[in-house]
Structure 1
């Protein structure tokens, strides 16, 4: 991340207006006011961009995706998509049934933590996030806490049997420090698992051209990440394994995943993943791209026409897009 040269070959925002057409072609996106004036707690004082809410800037805590209901629904669909990619599993680490304490970092809506708590009813599961958007009704062995994983953790050392994090791309200031903290707070013999994705959308048959909206998606995130001081190239740079090795984890293993977008794959199971992956993107493309493009100085109209072009390409059936995902898990040595 440090010293990396910014990407400079992003097509200008004005390009997408010419691709989609005039304003009549832009889908009507709900911009209902999300006023928080009546709420007194600072954790509910979100920033608002074009009617969408985002975690407010406080200290090092930041996240580029919206934290409202539309984005939450997309993330819940994505949870199912990720579970399908793992063959119906919630994790790859070889956990024993008698684990006691589990931490889910960046829990989001809490859906993974809820499913995990149901599957391991004897374990105490804690989900942490920087904004309180989690479900109110959860298993009795699950609790949610507000915590920024980029700062010192409030948990006891050698406490967790399993620490899990997923899709934290673009929100971690230093992956090496993060995994060093995890190492401190995981019990000897405990496991760390990290599930990340690449922002770059590509194809094996040349259907996703660099000049397409799908082809530009990753470039936009990478450039925005440079401006924000975070990396959207975690998978490309193999940061998960490198940071895990540097922290001292052993028995490190990984699972590489090519996640299709759309129904184009011939394999039945992969096609199902593609259908859900497409639903993730179509549910709320604006919630993913708005903050980053706003950071790059795009206007509201420019953002909307780009979103419309993304939808147009995904629905056309002419493209065979996918993005890479990488799951890495490792164990803290028994004797340290």
Structure 2
């Protein structure tokens, strides 16, 4: 509970991962919940893509954040025991009886015994994990033989296929620049998709039946496809709700804590987020694999 404070925003305790870049306050947790919704819509109202059995018994949700995925999963699978972990106790107290939350740092050695969980779920850990191979080795160890592990990650660079994200836009000079340069400054990789960290880590850990599903999700409601337009509107909402929370720590690390121009870039970024003539999108990748039954 000894949170750090940076310009009025609270972040995880120094005792945990002090370099993690997003706040843990209510404003950021609202964006976490909106993110959960747009990813569910993107996946056609599915909470996960791995082919887990209907009688799944024990489930682990790494980096649970607000706990919304674990709560929704527990509601859908009332016979399963669901454990959600995070660096801060920011989850609600009023939850289904089959879900509980624990404080844990997934970058440290995992404390669960081998073959403990039928399904391990991880989502949006970019900027938090230095060693993806070790992360998936730990997930492999605690998964039951025949059980599944799923990882969902985003490439946070905003792109366009029609040239509407211009080189001098805030998308490029502010958002993309911060995330491109953050890896060297913070020491944690942000280009999870570009560096193919998920797939390689699944293969190195020994998973089989590895499946990769790539998606583009729009920033804003500009697509003609109704479902993608809905996804884009929620992506826009989560960023407008807390574009500061996604960039404040990175700005202080990359540009310097008192470097001028931050508020000006935020204002331009918000204008671009509302501009339907800019057809920006980001990429997300789902990777899931099964631990061999003979393991």
> Does the 8 A contact of 1:61 with 1:148 survive in 2?
no
**Where does residue 167 of structure 1 map in the other structure?**
124
| C-alpha separation in 1, matches of 2:18 and 2:140 | 21
Which residue of structure 2 lines up, in the alignment, with residue 315 of structure 1?
274
Q: Note the 1:73-92 alignment, pairs <5 A.
A: 73-92=30-49
* Structure 1 residue matching 2:118: 3-state secondary structure: strand
* Alpha-carbon distance in 2 for matches of 1:82, 1:144: 22
TM-score under structure 2 normalisation? 0.97
Residue in 2 that maps onto 1:212: 169
Unaligned runs of 5+ in 1: 1-43
Return the TM-score normalized by structure 1. Answer: 0.85
Q: What is the rounded CA distance, in whole Å, between the counterparts of 1:132 and 1:184 in structure 2? A: 25
Picking from 76, 81, 85, the partner of 1:128 is: 85
The more displaced of 121-130 and 206-215 is 206-215
1:47 matches 2:4: yes
In structure 1, distance between residues paired with 2:49 and 2:167: 34
Aligned partners of 2:92, 2:16: CA distance in 1, in Å?
Answer: 25
Q: After superposition, what is the alpha-carbon deviation per residue over 1:4-44, rounded to whole angstroms, capped at 9, x for unaligned?
A: xxxxxxxxxxxxxxxxxxxxxxxxxxxxxxxxxxxxxxxx1
1:106 equivalent in structure 2: 63
Give the drift of 1:328. 0.5
CA shift at 1:254, angstroms?
A: 1.3
Q: Deviations over 1:283-304 (max 9, x none)?
A: 1100110010011215375222
CA contact (8 A) 2:114 2:143 kept: yes
Q: Which residue is 1:303 aligned to?
A: 262
Unpaired segments ≥5 residues, structure 2 = none
Cα distance in 2 for residues equivalent to 1:331 and 1:222: 32
Q: 1:283 to 1:300 in 2, by over 3 A?
A: farther
Cα pair 2:16 2:105 within 8 Å, conserved: no
Distance 1:184 1:61, change over 3 A: farther
Report the Cα distance in structure 1 between the residues aligned to 2:130 and 2:280, rounded to whole angstroms: 29
Q: Quick one: which of 157, 162, 183 aligns to 2:140?
A: 183
Q: Which moved more, 1:276-285 or 1:207-216?
A: 207-216
Aligned equivalents of 1:302, 1:50: Cα separation in 2: 15
Q: Which residue of 2 aligns with 1:33?
A: none
Structure 1 CA distance for aligned equivalents of residues 215 and 41 of structure 2: 11
1:33-73: CA deviation from partner (whole Å, max 9, x where unpaired): xxxxxxxxxxx111111100111222556421011000011
Aligned residues: 293
Structure showing the higher strand proportion among its residues: 2
When the two chains are superposed, the root-mean-square deviation of aligned CA atoms in Å is 1.2
Which residue in 2 is equivalent to 1:285?
243
| Equivalent position SS for 2:114 | coil
Cα distance, 1:145 vs structure 2? 0.2
Deviations 1:127-149 (A, max 9, x none): 00011111111100000000000
Quick one: distance in 2 between partners of 1:194 and 1:200? 19
